[in-house]
Amino acid sequence: MDFRKHLILQRDSIRDALAKLNILGIDAILFVADEEDKLIGSLTDGDIRRGFVKGLTFETPILDYIQPNPVFIFQNDYDAIEQLELFQRKSLKIIPIVDRNHRIVDILNLRLKRSLLPLDTVLMAGGRGERLSPLTDNCPKPLLKVGAKPIIEHNVDRLINYGINRIIISIRYLGDQIKAHFNNGAVKDIKIEYVEEENPLGTFGALSLVDSFNTDNILLMNSDLLTNIDFADFYKSYIESGADLMIASIPYQVKVPYAVLEINNGQVISFDEKPTYSYYSNGGIYLFKKSLLEFMPSNTFFNATDFMELLIAKKKKVIHYPILGYWLDIGRPDDFEKAQNDIKHIKF
């Protein structure tokens, strides 16, 4: 989104403001700034109407019409998530994003985006997808369509919906097709970059190919997942927990159709009639501190299990986040068929 369409300079006229507000339609709010884009106030149709009622005219300076203390959020502010929840409860939709000098650097439209997560994100998209052959013989698995668009694009669009604006895609098998599909991300108004694995490096191994990360925390996920995970709640839970690594997990229950005996030295000491045991499987989505990258080997196969074992051995805090919504790993033909049916009914 071109945020400058919501900006108007303090030296501009009320006629200029009305013309801009008319173009903005349902998003009709302007933020008044000085010559350096420093936020001064906000202006709506209602502010102008109330000004006319008080006797102001088209020749009255724009500063006489404005609301001088508009809400805003700081760029890359970890506390912004809770602020946004408050703004949403107050039905505020258009929020300026400012730097520490209060210069407007972007505009968040909560009608179009749910949040503004300060996360560089890596999507793993280098696998061969052999179990889905022949569908993947000439097409990388992430580009197989589920409904109207490729699997990976469902994930990219959902990440964008949560305000993530830098995505790094790790590619190998038929990776040029993925690069051609997204290019640099400009068409989606974000930045998309690529790292290329010459040999398989595992879920976490490809991170060593990324030159640098701009955020203190990193989101990593497999690109062949279909999920409606709430990334904002995932991130908020991660920050509140103080974890070094948070793993999205899938609740899995095993029902035993018989009584289970507890045995001690051959003696039955208790039994549980037809119990249900709950387990949690790895959901292929991870949030972790950037500082942990120093523990990872360079350009070496390094899977998620290797990373978890390393952190546990180093007494780091590794916790899980159960996905209570929809999640499907599209690895087999029946998974792919299920996804085609489910996409018609999933609320994203």
Length of the chain: 348
Fold adopted by 3-109: CBS-domain (3.10.580)
Mean pLDDT score, 101-124: 91
CA atoms within 13 A on the CB side of 103: 5
Domain locations in the chain as residue ranges: 3-109, 131-342
Residues 6+ apart with CB under 8 A from 85: none
Token pair for 123: 């999507």
pLDDT at site 151: 95
Cα–Cα dist 30/11, whole Å:
14
Cα–Cα dist 161/113, whole Å:
5
Q: What angle do CA 327, 239, 169 make, to 5 degrees?
A: 50
Cα torsion 290, 295, 301, 303 to 10°: value is -70
Cα–Cα dist 163/114, whole Å:
7
Residue with tokens 């912004």: 80
- Selection from 125, 265, 96, 92 nearest residue 200 by Cα: 125
- Is 288 in contact with 245 (CB distance < 8 Å)? yes
Distance in angstroms between the alpha carbons of the first and the last residue of the chain: 21
What does pLDDT average to over the chain? 92
Cα–Cα dist 333/236, whole Å:
35
With 0-12 CB in 10 A as exposed, 13-18 as middle and 19+ as buried, what is 27?
A: middle
pLDDT at site 299: 85
Mean pLDDT score, 255-282: 87
One-letter amino acid for residue 229 of the chain: I
- Is 104 in contact with 31 (CB distance < 8 Å)? yes
pLDDT at site 78: 62
pLDDT at site 260: 87
Cα–Cα dist 90/87, whole Å:
5
With a cut of 70, say whether residue 268 has pLDDT above it.
yes
Alpha helices in 127-281 (DSSP H): 151-161, 175-182, 202-205, 231-241
Tens digits of per-residue pLDDT, 315-343?
Answer: 999 999 999 999 999 999 999 999 999 99
Mean pLDDT score, 239-252: 94
pLDDT at site 79: 67
Instruction: Out of 140-149, 258-267, 297-306, give the one with best mean pLDDT.
Output: 140-149
With a cut of 90, say whether residue 116 has pLDDT above it.
no
pLDDT at site 82: 76
pLDDT at site 157: 96
pLDDT at site 193: 97
User: What CATH number has the domain spanning 131-342?
Assistant: 3.90.550.10
Tens digits of per-residue pLDDT, 35-83?
Answer: 999 999 999 999 999 999 999 999 999 999 999 999 998 887 766 777 7
Bridge pairing between strands 149-150 and 145-146? antiparallel
The structure's pTM equals 0.85
Bridge pairing between strands 104-109 and 94-98? antiparallel
Cα–Cα dist 318/177, whole Å:
36
3-state secondary structure of 133: coil
Q: Determine which of 38-42, 135-139, 272-276, 282-286 has the lowest per-residue pLDDT on average.
A: 272-276
3-state secondary structure of 157: helix
Tens digits of per-residue pLDDT, 167-223?
Answer: 999 999 999 999 999 999 999 989 999 999 988 898 899 999 999 999 999 999 999
- Selection from 157, 133, 184 nearest residue 333 by Cα: 133
With a cut of 90, say whether residue 139 has pLDDT above it.
yes
